[in-house]
């Protein structure tokens, strides 16, 4: 008799099953919320695994340290963290790992913390066959609670930036061959490698949301980040909020040098590791925010219906047949 494996059930189902051992809704967002007498805490853990997320050819130790921190801060921001307190770092390393590699990793970690806030609080080390960097980040919950299940029918869907660049950077670093009819612009190559190696986040995002809020009593909005790809981010919001997402392909922001074609649309929507925020707002709030910040892009809206994604242009729905990145 066949026994279920993680490959059979996939990452999302694994998380759902593990959630049965936890308090209700504990796994509905990337961050855990810990209520205290003073300010509530947000806690997030993210791991980077050798030969799954990185290898020695794709990224240097300094950039890897930076990226390990930013991936966690992105999750904190997508839950409404107003300040990063600090991080702990757990390392699993082969015994033959050179000290200079570890030193470079921590240089990159501190560079990210210097820019985005927080300190190293401690951690753990152990021996293993492959390198694993696991970071737990601690933040303070801000006035606005950003949650996946807070989207509503009628909300406008936004993203903070362009997707697909990190996927392209990863492919370039891995020296993956592209079709002969594709000629990549040098600016696009440089930009994509930077997005893969040194992703950025948006610490002023929450301040801008508060500045443009139309109803001061509103405390919750729908939000997540696109670490697993733009499609997965929208799907997570739709499922958690029990809404249908309608995406306007024509409004999707792309680099001006981004190649055309179905394969490049797949890289764009399913690439992952862009760490852009994907969120929704009521129309009046949405108008105020776009007037203040021109780097916020409207890409669709939520409507009544079962949790799903559709394109406004029905011809683009063939894209939805693609599969998001799977860890198993």
Q: Dump pLDDT digits (tens) for 169-179.
A: 999 998 888 87
**Window from 67-71, 80-84, 181-185, 269-273 with minimum mean pLDDT:** 181-185
Among 316, 150, 144, 173, which residue's Cα sits nearest to residue 231? 316
Residue showing tokens 């694993």: 132
Size of the chain, expressed as the number of residues it contains: 328
Cβ count within 10 A of residue 307 = 15
Residue 328 has pLDDT above 60, yes or no: no
Is the separation of the CB atoms in 14 and 2 below 8 Å? no
In this structure, what is the dihedral angle of CA atoms 97, 99, 105, 111, given to the nearest 10 degrees? 180
The average pLDDT across 120-135 equals: 96
pLDDT band (50, 70, 90) for residue 1? low
Domains of the chain, start order: 31-141 (3.30.1330.10), 145-321 (3.90.650.10)
Angle at 186 between CA 181 and CA 192, to 5 degrees: 95
Q: What is the DSSP letter of 50?
A: B
Residue showing tokens 């921001």: 77
Q: What's the CA gap between 238 and 303, in Å, rounded?
A: 10
Angle between helices 262-270 and 230-241 (to 10 degrees): 60
Q: What's the CA gap between 174 and 213, in Å, rounded?
A: 44
| Percent of all residues in the chain with a pLDDT value above 70, rounded to a whole number | 98
Q: What is the pLDDT of residue 212?
A: 97
Is the separation of the CB atoms in 8 and 328 below 8 Å? no
Residue 122 region by backbone torsions, left for phi larger than 0, else alpha for psi between -120 and 50, else beta: left
* Structure tokens given for 180: 């002969």
Q: What is the pLDDT of residue 325?
A: 64
Q: Dump pLDDT digits (tens) for 149-163.
A: 999 999 999 999 999
Residue showing tokens 């209520």: 35
Strand partners, 271: none
Q: What is the pLDDT of residue 314?
A: 84
Q: What's the CA gap between 237 and 302, in Å, rounded?
A: 10
Among 289, 326, 308, 87, which residue's Cα sits nearest to residue 205? 289
Q: What is the pLDDT of residue 19?
A: 81
Q: What is the pLDDT of residue 326?
A: 64
In this structure, what is the dihedral angle of CA atoms 323, 324, 325, 328, given to the nearest 10 degrees? -70
Q: What is the pLDDT of residue 327?
A: 64
Q: What is the DSSP letter of 54?
A: B
* Structure tokens given for 18: 């593990």
Among 277, 296, 309, 281, which residue's Cα sits nearest to residue 152? 281
Residue 187 has pLDDT above 90, yes or no: yes
| Percent of all residues in the chain with a pLDDT value above 90, rounded to a whole number | 77
Among 139, 189, 104, which residue's Cα sits nearest to residue 32? 139
Q: Dump pLDDT digits (tens) for 212-264.
A: 999 999 999 999 999 999 999 999 999 999 999 999 999 999 999 999 999 99
- Average pLDDT, whole number, for the chain? 93
Pick the residue with more confidence: 317 or 99? 99
Residue 320 has pLDDT above 90, yes or no: no
Under 8 Å CB-to-CB from 267, ≥6 apart: which residues?
Answer: 164, 167, 168, 171
């Amino acid at each position: 008799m066949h026994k279920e494996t993680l490959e059979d059930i996939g990452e999302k189902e694994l998380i759902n099953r593990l959630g049965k051992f936890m308090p209700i809704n504990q796994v509905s967002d990337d961050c855990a919320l810990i209520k205290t007498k003073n300010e509530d805490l947000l806690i997030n853990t993210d791991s980077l695994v050798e030969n799954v997320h990185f290898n020695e050819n794709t990224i240097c130790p300094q950039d890897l340290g930076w990226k390990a921190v930013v991936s966690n801060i992105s999750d904190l921001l997508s839950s409404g963290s107003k300040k990063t307190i600090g991080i702990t770092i757990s390392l699993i390393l082969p015994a033959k790992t050179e000290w200079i590699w570890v030193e470079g990793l921590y240089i990159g970690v501190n560079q990210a913390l210097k820019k985005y806030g927080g300190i190293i609080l401690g951690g753990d080390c152990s021996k293993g066959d492959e390198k694993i960097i696991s970071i737990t980040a601690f933040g303070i919950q801000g006035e606005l609670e950003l949650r996946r299940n807070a989207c509503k029918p009628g909300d406008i869907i936004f993203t903070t930036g362009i997707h697909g660049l990190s996927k392209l950077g990863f492919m370039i670093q891995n020296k993956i061959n592209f079709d002969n009819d594709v000629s990549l612009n040098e600016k696009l190559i440089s930009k994509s490698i930077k997005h893969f190696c040194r992703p950025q986040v948006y610490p002023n995002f929450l301040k801008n949301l508060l500045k443009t809020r139309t109803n001061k009593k509103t405390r919750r909005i729908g939000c997540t980040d696109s670490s697993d790809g733009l499609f997965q981010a929208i799907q997570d919001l739709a499922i958690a909020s029990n809404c249908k997402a309608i995406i306007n392909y024509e409004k999707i922001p792309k680099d001006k040098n981004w190649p055309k074609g179905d394969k490049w649309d797949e890289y764009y929507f399913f690439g992952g590791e862009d760490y852009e925020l994907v969120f929704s707002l009521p129309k009046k709030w949405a108008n105020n925010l776009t007037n203040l910040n021109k780097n916020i892009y409207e890409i669709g809206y939520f409507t009544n219906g079962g949790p799903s994604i559709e394109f406004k242009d029905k011809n683009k729905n063939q894209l939805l047949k693609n599969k998001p990145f799977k860890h198993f």
